[in-house]
Amino acid sequence: MDPIADPRRKFRQAAFAYLHVGLLYEAAVLAAWRADLLPALRGPVPVWLLAGAAIVALVFWGLWTGRKWFARVVWGVHALRLPALVAGAFFPAADARLPSSFYVAALIVVVANLWMLARAGWDL
How do residues 96-120 score in pLDDT, each as one tens digit? 888 999 999 999 999 999 999 999 9
Report yes or no on 108 lying in a domain: yes
User: Residues 7, 66: contact at Cβ < 8 Å?
Assistant: yes
Report yes or no on 107 lying in a domain: yes
Residue 42 has a pLDDT of 76
User: Residues 117, 74: contact at Cβ < 8 Å?
Assistant: yes
Report yes or no on 62 lying in a domain: yes
Residue 95 belongs to what domain range? 9-122
Report yes or no on 2 lying in a domain: no
Report yes or no on 44 lying in a domain: yes
Report yes or no on 3 lying in a domain: no
Domain count, the chain: 1
Residue 3 has a pLDDT of 57
Report yes or no on 1 lying in a domain: no
pLDDT at 43 over 70: yes
Alpha-helical (H) ranges within the chain are: 9-34, 45-64, 68-79, 82-90, 100-122
Report yes or no on 17 lying in a domain: yes
